[in-house]
Structure 1
Amino acid sequence: MTFLLIFSACFFLFYVAIILFASYKISKPVIQQSVRNHSNNSYTIVVPFRDEIENLKHIYSDLLDLRFDQQRLEVIFIDDHSSDGSFEWLDNCDMPTNFKLLKSSKTGKKQALTQAISQASGSFIITTDADCQLHHNWIKNIEDTIDLNNPILIVQPVISEFKDKLLHQFQYYDSLSLLGINMAVFNTRNYPSLASGANLVFQKEAFIKINPFRDNCHIASGDDMFLLESFLKSDPNSITLNYSPGNLVVTKPENSWVKLVKQRMRWTGKMKRFSNATSFYLGLFSVVSQVILITF
């Protein structure tokens, strides 16, 4: 019993330290080197969705408010067989000419992403989810990162929204802890071990060449991690991680402890499919942290 208490206390202190580290990193202003010659790349934001009519109303507004050259920006919404009127709501919107609405011909997020990317005009693809909140300089910050690093893939920060309920605050701090660990791994090994499809940037040409979903379309989840692992195998030195505040995306938290634990169990189960052992242990860390911190 004494050992368990000591272990839990040490784990808790480690957890707090990681959260403080991540909080400092994502809140610290990043002074980037001046970029003399912008590359003038074009960008396509892909938003897959299924039954998310309320979320779409918010992200649609955020996408309209992005401060970026609209001649070099395209937005593709792709419907993965919604039944709540999501597609119809978007279809009735007076969309700008650089916004497109598609219906996925096959079921599943990977299939929807693949179809949208195949029709994208941008040289870089940016993926996000319908329940996300976006910074108005999001694309500008992404372009600065590309001009400085010339990556084929950028892993960017996603945190859970901070709300009044203890459950939501717990998810906020837990997401910070995962960001902190991912940053620590990147600083040590020079590559990230976690990625979220809510905030990923990659070259369209590289995606088509690597074809990361070729052998896993039958698996319901894991599009982001399968993509990360495939890119790591192809060219690990051309992958970067940018956790500056302007690159941050905020996502909605789960509304019950049961849903949260089930979500993290799915994440851990998904990690077992990857050859990167660090990713598995990070998923396991997330589940263990749920149990220890709830009972602490």
Structure 2
Amino acid sequence: MIATIIIVIIIAYLIVIGSLTYGFDKVEEFQLRDLKPKTKFSIVIPFRNEAENLPKLLNSIFKLNYPKDLFEVIFVDDESDDGSADIINNLLNTKDFTRTDNIKIIQNNRVSNSPKKDAITSAIEIANNEWIITSDADCVLPEYWLDTFDELIQTKQPNCIVAPVTYYGQTSFFNRFQTLDFLSLQGATIGGFGLQKPFLCNGANFAYQKSIFRELKGFEGNIKIASGDDIFLLEKLKTYNPKKVCYLKNPKAIVHTQPVSSLQQLINQRLRWASKTSRNPDWFSKLLGLVVFLANLVCLSLFPLLIFNLISGRITVSLLVIKLGIDFLLLFKTARFFKQENLLLSFLFSSILYPFFSVYIVILSLFKSYHWKGRTFKK
């Protein structure tokens, strides 16, 4: 009986991840046509105590290929006390940017339990342009970032664009572990779009129209949840017009962000992510989360079951090969798109550790609050 249940769970996992792998290939890579830039963008970047990361972000903004008169950058200071705003001002004074026209710093207007949602809303209130792109202060933007968004808008007329994000600086195993985990989420994101069931996105590379944001009343309905400025808005935009929600699958649109530096930060980050994914109303997301959790739980139970002769060695090996095989296939496709195939050398060891980490986070998220940016948030 136990063996049958375990086999059913792994087969369900194979079907779900296999479907996402199929969906990944269904999303065609968007080809640039070197169109004349037309779209005006307002880039929104909330920040809180990001003095260490802002110089890299600003330098990438200065290197953007897009015409400066077609975009603005709105930094939203969320009560920083490390001199972050001064760093922005000092760097602006050394670069050829018209401060008042291109780059602004405003203060966050806190009205809810979600600082980031408040920050984005504060920026949109003063944004001059129709297209909003959100990113994070610990990101590095690619040179042709806005060009790829512009060409997709010109050719497909979407009202929402989800775009790729990955980590940089993968020197230690800890960083490689995080990046492989993150790539699996990116693969699932792209796969969901290929199945015409988008359920994930990342606010570090997310664009939508200001008029529709206002029509949908922004983040109203989930402001009590501290996280989720991305996926909850995606759900609203899907309901508004699912055919106008697009994925921008182009390497020149990839935003790079920084992995966390300690295990405690990683746990808090994953707890923060779990707090929003558990509230996601999308049934496909809930089904996927349940199947992934059960499959990882099965992996943890296989060895004890084998020891007590409740499952055969042949079945144990077969199930592990099936799970590792389909995981590797999706990760391989994703890593190839992000040009991070070298990380796959850490796949096997990461796969041994991941079920412990994943199940621990799910259980912990049921009753524990999390800390982020010097603040504590309840589940």
Q: Quick check: TM above 0.5?
A: yes
- Alignment check: 8 A CA contact 1:45 1:74 kept: yes
> How many aligned residue pairs are there?
292
Greater mean deviation of Cα atoms: 174-183 or 86-95? 86-95
SS in 2 for 1:53: coil
Superposition deviation, residue 245 in structure 1: 0.6
The corresponding residue for 1:165 is 172
Q: 1:130, 1:285 → 2: CA distance?
A: 34
**Cα distance change of structure 1 residues 23 and 186 upon mapping to structure 2, 3 Å threshold:** closer
Greater mean deviation of Cα atoms: 7-16 or 209-218? 7-16
Q: 1:240, 1:182 → 2: CA distance?
A: 11
The corresponding residue for 1:32 is 31
Q: Deviations for 1:213-261, whole angstroms, at most 9, x for unmatched residues?
A: 1222232111111111111111111110112111111111122334324
Superposition deviation, residue 3 in structure 1: 8.1
Matches within 5 A, 1:16-95: 30=29, 32=31, 34=33, 38=36, 40-93=38-91, 94=93
Q: 2:221, 2:6 → 1: CA distance?
A: 44
Q: Which amino acid aligns with 2:148?
A: N
Find out whether 1:101 has 2:114 as its counterpart: no
Find out whether 1:204 has 2:202 as its counterpart: no
- Alignment check: 8 A CA contact 1:195 1:225 kept: yes
Superposition deviation, residue 166 in structure 1: 1.4
SS in 2 for 1:184: helix
- Alignment check: 8 A CA contact 1:162 1:172 kept: no
The corresponding residue for 1:135 is 142
5+ residue gaps, structure 2? 300-350, 356-379
Superposition deviation, residue 127 in structure 1: 0.5
Q: 1:85, 1:267 → 2: CA distance?
A: 28
- Superposed CA RMSD in Å reads 3.3
Q: Which amino acid aligns with 2:58?
A: Y
The corresponding residue for 1:126 is 133
Find out whether 1:235 has 2:234 as its counterpart: no
- Alignment check: 8 A CA contact 1:18 1:180 kept: no
With structure 2 as the length reference, what TM-score do the two structures score? 0.67
Q: Which amino acid aligns with 2:108?
A: S
Q: Which amino acid aligns with 1:112?
A: A
Superposition deviation, residue 144 in structure 1: 0.9
**Cα distance change of structure 1 residues 285 and 105 upon mapping to structure 2, 3 Å threshold:** same
Greater mean deviation of Cα atoms: 81-90 or 120-129? 81-90
Q: 1:76, 1:90 → 2: CA distance?
A: 11
Q: Which amino acid aligns with 2:109?
A: S
Q: 1:79, 1:15 → 2: CA distance?
A: 41
Q: Deviations for 1:7-35, whole angstroms, at most 9, x for unmatched residues?
A: 99989999998999899999x9x462747
5+ residue gaps, structure 1? none
Q: Deviations for 1:166-199, whole angstroms, at most 9, x for unmatched residues?
A: 121112112221222222221122x421011100
**Cα distance change of structure 1 residues 185 and 276 upon mapping to structure 2, 3 Å threshold:** same
The corresponding residue for 1:271 is 277
| Greater gyration radius | 2
The corresponding residue for 1:226 is 232
Q: 2:68, 2:51 → 1: CA distance?
A: 25
- Alignment check: 8 A CA contact 1:272 1:280 kept: yes
**Cα distance change of structure 1 residues 153 and 275 upon mapping to structure 2, 3 Å threshold:** same
The corresponding residue for 2:252 is 246
Q: Which amino acid aligns with 1:55?
A: N
Q: 1:285, 1:162 → 2: CA distance?
A: 31
Greater mean deviation of Cα atoms: 262-271 or 54-63? 262-271
Q: 2:17, 2:189 → 1: CA distance?
A: 15
The corresponding residue for 2:326 is none
Superposition deviation, residue 71 in structure 1: 0.8
With structure 1 as the length reference, what TM-score do the two structures score? 0.85
Q: 1:285, 1:254 → 2: CA distance?
A: 27
Q: 1:82, 1:169 → 2: CA distance?
A: 30
